[in-house]
Amino acid sequence: MRSIVEATVTLFDAEAASIALYESALDQLVFAVAAGEQGQGVIGLAIAPDQGIAGYVFTTGQALALSEVERDARFGRGAAEATGYVPRSIVAVPLIDEQGTMGVLEVLDKRSSATFSLRDIELAGVFARQATVAIRASRVERDTVTLLRTSLASLAGSDDQATVERVVQLATADLDGDDDDRLWAIVDRVARLRQADPGELELLAEILEVVARRAERRAEQRRRSGRARAAR
């Protein structure tokens, strides 16, 4: 998630980007990760799932782009002030897949423009899908590790925990793929492309869509692999 918000800040040349995840046990949206000069103050902030811009996007499942956000009735100024930064403009998109909405990606204040465009919403949506795939895959990995550890421990007994942990590590090693280097290589290229001829900007959404689809396929392969290992 951190790589995704950092990449988002880089591509949008934004003051900040953050991801809020819905925590069902708390019935709150909790800002789990952020990037950018003005982003760090939001980490750990918890709001009601229908509060503010993030809450609106989470509950409706609709992306939103606003300039002069303070004039919008949905804007939670108190929450923004608590982070130490009150944005001028926001684009917010839901983290959503076939299993439902899990959170919201927000991008604050492009340095190059006072507003976000429709294309910006599309690009933010691509990053939101990437984040959704990454989060879902990490939860599958966590659940798989927990299931394996619990099952093996019950079979091995309390005297052989070192062996249990070793087996769990070997069984789940390939679930923890690290694509940060590839992601940053793409970010660098696309960031340079955004400074190129305006006609070439049409390639941006297509490039990132390919990245998102590839990540989704890899996540599905990991989920299948995890289910197969758990079944064995």
Beta bridge partners of 21: 30, 103
What's the domain count of the chain? 2
> Looking at the structure, do residues 110 and 6 belong to the same domain, yes or no?
yes
> Looking at the structure, do residues 210 and 108 belong to the same domain, yes or no?
no
Q: Calculate mean pLDDT across residues 120-142.
A: 80
| pLDDT single digits (tens) 205-227 | 555 556 566 667 777 777 787 77
> Looking at the structure, do residues 75 and 150 belong to the same domain, yes or no?
no
Task: State what percent of residues in the chain have pLDDT above 90.
Answer: 41
Which of these three, 114, 144, 161, is where a domain ends?
114
CA torsion angle 108 72 29 8 (round to 10): -20
Domain that holds residue 160: 135-231
pTM higher than the cut 0.75: no
> Looking at the structure, do residues 94 and 141 belong to the same domain, yes or no?
no
pLDDT at 164 over 80: no
> Looking at the structure, do residues 219 and 178 belong to the same domain, yes or no?
yes
How many other CB atoms are there within 10 angstroms of residue 27's CB atom? 10
Question: What DSSP line would sit under 33-77, residue for residue?
Answer: EEESTTTGGGTT-EE-TTSHHHHHHHHH---EEEESGGGSTT--H
What confidence category does residue 139 fall into, taking pLDDT thresholds of 50, 70 and 90?
Answer: low
In a domain, residue 130? The reply is no
